[in-house]
């Protein structure tokens, strides 16, 4: 049990968010909901429309969450983007706090209901068709055709609505999507069958084929929907923690209000077991559960006046919370925004899927038209030519390729967040997979906490005042060890990085500098060593052993003395130590390693680590790091356990492997499926089943352990 500020609060600071999103100070990021997007063609269409707007600096679609994140230029709002997307035929609306909260799996229920109706009707039509296939007479055959039509047409009118609605919107906007060929196939099968029924000239109809195609497509879409739900992002999980209402305390009693109505300095009542809806200050001591934000299961003690983050659970006793931030500025919302930046960013492989989406409409539809012309010319059979063209359109849908990267990114980024690592950069996962060298800072990163040095009250007060004026990890550790002591009244405090901090005490110069055994206090008449008995951070030895076991080079860099650095290195099993390194030389060390072909992960927490964190191939910082270090890093370890470093690199390599596997699966599928369809070996029904299975396979590969 510990008493500490929430790592989620620390990681979700506005400065960290701004740095992670890489946008100008006056730029504005918004989210728009796109409930009808389904495929790579939709992604390319949305991003293409937005790219042509002067008000939009950047746009990235999140297919799994069905929304787009837009970075607007200063002085613009979302109106132009909304209008342009509406004109292009996309259903779009702005997201608010309510829209961001999932309201249950309504989409899944609707898909199941439509699939059930299509399946029931399909079985009945097939039962009726047995008599026709068995050689029924003309009058009996015609009667059964009318019975089949009476069953099939109402069922198709209900079950095929998702395909027809999506296709009609796309066609009215002058574009194509994956539902256009599907709707065409269903419509052709039903219309041809209805014509044969009215004309009474054909021996067979295809009502059962239309229903079967609809049924299997709906089942495939539902399975894909469930697979995506399994791979839902960490951003979605954080958003799901948001609460719609809170109990506000007023002069006249209690009132229930929307969370969006809460303002700073409002008081709200939280029952034991309740989740905090906004950030605030605890007006009383309490235990909280931060596992949803940091991944750590142990309860944390928060003293009166301590911070509480949105999403944390109050344990044991009711609490009054003084609100410090509005709901839209809460830590929970900021963390969700940071995670989504990482999940929806462009990867090295993203260009492959984007190019495939742009080529989909002209190439595939041209190929289907060519197949139709060739087969009609060769066989003279219009029905067969239409079937081949339809199968080609359906089977070549690039959904598997569109899902190959975002499904993996969402699944693995979410898994990392649940393990206590928040990635802020959209390319961090890819760069972390390439790491072969890990460089740890010592004080504050590999170590935490120090024993209180034995000092008399006057000397301790001077040491505390100097330590509080410094951002060096050793100074912060000393200040933490001397807590409870009243600091001396010093003037003209100044810190020189790498040299120490000094000031005037009773008109005499005093300073705190690095000595042989740690910080050393220099008074007018003497110097006093302040040896800090450091303890390794939890999981440090395990992280080093795991990294070395995977063949990585592990090194330590510190401004401390070689003797102290090597003692800790021997304890942790680190073979390479760079001691007595000045702050400006840490970045140079990272550059030298990179020049030798090493891909360096820098793990540090201090102001003197900032340049090295920014210059490394990838970087991580503990949640206890200074704000500058957290901003400069690609990710923040929300928990206190350093074993998260090894877990992060392991999962990053797994993500890279899964992306390559998914791209290979998608390419292999199209390489086999397209020739099979063009050569007439696949019916529209077979194409629907194969197309759905390819998307499901890609998503399942992304989420498997």
3 secondary structure, DSSP code = B
The 3-state DSSP composition of the chain as helix, strand, coil percent (nearest 5) reads: 55, 15, 30
| Maximum separation of any 2 CA atoms in the chain, in Å | 119
- Tokens matching residue 247: 């109990």
Question: Which stretch of DSSP H or E encloses residue 446?
Answer: none
Coil/strand/helix, residue 638? coil
The string over 24-51, giving b where at least 16 C-beta atoms fall within 10 Å of a residue's C-beta and e elsewhere, is: eeebbbbbbbbebbbbbbbbbbbbebbe
507: left (phi over 0), alpha (psi -120 to 50) or beta: left
Closest Cα partner for 327 from 252, 256, 286, 266? 266
- Tokens matching residue 524: 């007018």
Closest Cα partner for 141 from 152, 149, 131, 153? 131
Q: How far apart are CA 685 and CA 177, in angstroms?
A: 19
Q: How far apart are CA 579 and CA 245, in angstroms?
A: 54
Coil/strand/helix, residue 102? coil
Angle 106-133/138-159 helices, nearest 10 degrees? Answer: 170
CB 460 within 8 A of CB 444: no
Beta strand segments in 305-461, E: 307-308, 313-315, 319-323, 421-423, 437-441, 447-450
CB 111 within 8 A of CB 221: yes
Closest Cα partner for 63 from 416, 425, 399, 413? 399
CB 504 within 8 A of CB 491: yes
180: left (phi over 0), alpha (psi -120 to 50) or beta: alpha
Q: How far apart are CA 65 and CA 40, in angstroms?
A: 14
Catalytic residue, chosen from 179, 208, 441, 560, is 441
Coil/strand/helix, residue 180? helix
Q: Is 441 a catalytic residue?
A: yes
Q: How far apart are CA 187 and CA 283, in angstroms?
A: 65
Q: How far apart are CA 583 and CA 340, in angstroms?
A: 33
- Tokens matching residue 565: 């650095």
- Cα atoms in the 13 Å half-sphere on the side-chain side of 140: 10
Dihedrals phi, psi of 446, to nearest 5 degrees:
-80, -20
- Rg value, the chain, Cα: 32
Please report, in angstroms and rounded to a whole number, the separation of the first and last CA atoms in the chain.
31
- Cα atoms in the 13 Å half-sphere on the side-chain side of 552: 26
Helix residue spans in 396-485 (DSSP H): 399-418, 428-432, 457-468, 473-481
Closest Cα partner for 82 from 96, 102, 68? 68
Give me the torsion for CA of 62, 66, 71, 75, rounded to 10°. Answer: 180
Beta carbons within 10 angstroms of residue 140's beta carbon: 12
Closest Cα partner for 70 from 328, 344, 327? 344
- Cα atoms in the 13 Å half-sphere on the side-chain side of 106: 4
Angle 138-159/207-230 helices, nearest 10 degrees? Answer: 30
Active site residues: 441
């Amino acid at each position: 049990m510990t008493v500490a500020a929430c790592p989620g609060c620390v990681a979700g600071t506005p400065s960290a968010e701004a740095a992670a999103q890489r946008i100008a100070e006056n730029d504005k990021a918004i989210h728009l909901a796109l409930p009808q997007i389904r495929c790579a063609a939709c992604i390319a269409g949305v991003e293409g429309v937005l790219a042509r707007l002067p008000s939009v600096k950047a746009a990235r679609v999140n297919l799994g969450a069905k929304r787009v994140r837009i970075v607007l230029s200063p002085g613009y709002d979302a109106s132009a983007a909304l209008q342009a997307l509406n004109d292009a035929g996309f259903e779009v609306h702005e997201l608010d706090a309510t829209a961001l909260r999932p309201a249950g799996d309504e989409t899944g229920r609707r898909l199941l209901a439509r699939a059930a109706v299509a399946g029931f009707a399909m079985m009945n039509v097939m039962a009726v068709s047995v008599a026709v296939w068995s050689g029924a007479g003309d009058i009996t055959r015609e009667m059964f055709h009318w019975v089949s039509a009476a069953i099939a047409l109402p069922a198709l009118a209900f079950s095929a609505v998702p395909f027809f609605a999506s296709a009609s919107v796309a066609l009215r906007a002058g574009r194509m999507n994956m539902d256009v060929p599907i709707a065409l196939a269903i419509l052709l099968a039903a219309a041809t069958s209805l014509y044969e029924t009215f004309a009474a000239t054909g021996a067979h109809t295809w009502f059962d084929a239309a229903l079967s195609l609809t049924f299997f497509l709906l089942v495939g879409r539902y399975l894909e929907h469930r697979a995506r739900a399994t791979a839902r992002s960490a951003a979605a999980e954080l958003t799901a923690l948001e609460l719609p209402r809170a109990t506000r305390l007023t002069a006249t009693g209690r009132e229930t209000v929307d969370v969006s109505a809460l303002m700073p300095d409002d008081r709200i009542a939280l029952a034991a077991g309740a989740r905090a809806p906004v950030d605030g200050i605890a007006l009383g001591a309490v235990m909280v559960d931060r596992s949803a934000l940091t991944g750590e299961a142990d309860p944390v003690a928060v003293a009166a006046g301590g911070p509480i983050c949105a999403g944390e659970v109050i344990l044991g006793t009711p609490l009054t919370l003084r609100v410090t931030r509005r709901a839209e500025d809460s830590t929970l919302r900021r963390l969700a925004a940071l995670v989504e930046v990482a999940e929806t960013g462009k990867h090295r492989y993203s260009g492959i899927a984007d190019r495939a989406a742009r080529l989909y409409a002209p190439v595939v539809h041209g190929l289907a038209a060519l197949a139709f012309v060739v087969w009609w010319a060769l066989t003279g059979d219009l029905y067969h030519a239409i079937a081949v063209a339809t199968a080609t359109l359906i089977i070549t849908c690039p959904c598997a390729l569109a899902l190959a990267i975002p499904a993996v990114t969402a699944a693995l980024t979410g898994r990392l967040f649940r393990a206590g690592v928040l990635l802020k950069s959209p390319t961090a996962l890819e760069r972390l997979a390439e790491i072969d060298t890990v460089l740890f800072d010592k004080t504050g990163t590999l170590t935490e906490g120090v024993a209180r040095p034995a000092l008399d009250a006057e000397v301790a007060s001077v040491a505390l005042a100097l330590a509080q004026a410094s951002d060096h990890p050793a100074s912060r550790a000393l200040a933490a060890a001397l807590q409870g002591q009243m600091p001396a009244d010093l003037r003209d405090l100044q810190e020189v990085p790498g040299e120490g901090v000094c000031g005037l005490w009773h008109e005499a110069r005093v300073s705190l500098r690095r000595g042989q055994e740690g910080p050393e206090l220099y008074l007018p008449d003497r110097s006093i060593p302040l040896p800090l008995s450091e303890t390794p951070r939890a999981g440090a030895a395990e992280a080093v052993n795991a990294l070395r076991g995977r063949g990585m080079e592990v090194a330590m860099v510190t401004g401390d003395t070689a003797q102290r650095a090597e003692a800790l290195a021997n304890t942790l099993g680190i073979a390479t130590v760079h001691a007595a390194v000045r702050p400006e030389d840490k970045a140079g060390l990272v550059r030298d390693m990179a020049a030798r072909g090493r891909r360096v992960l820098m793990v540090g927490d201090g102001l003197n680590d900032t340049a090295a964190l920014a210059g490394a191939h990838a970087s991580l910082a503990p949640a206890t790091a200074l704000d500058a270090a957290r901003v400069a890093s690609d990710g923040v370890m929300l928990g206190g356990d350093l074993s998260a470093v090894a877990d992060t690199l392991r999962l990053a390599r797994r993500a890279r492997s899964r992306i390559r596997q998914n791209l290979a699966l998608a390419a292999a599928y199209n390489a086999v499926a397209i020739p099979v369809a063009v050569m007439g070996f696949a019916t529209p029904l077979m194409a629907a089943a194969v197309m759905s299975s390819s998307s499901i396979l890609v998503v399942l590969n992304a989420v498997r352990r």
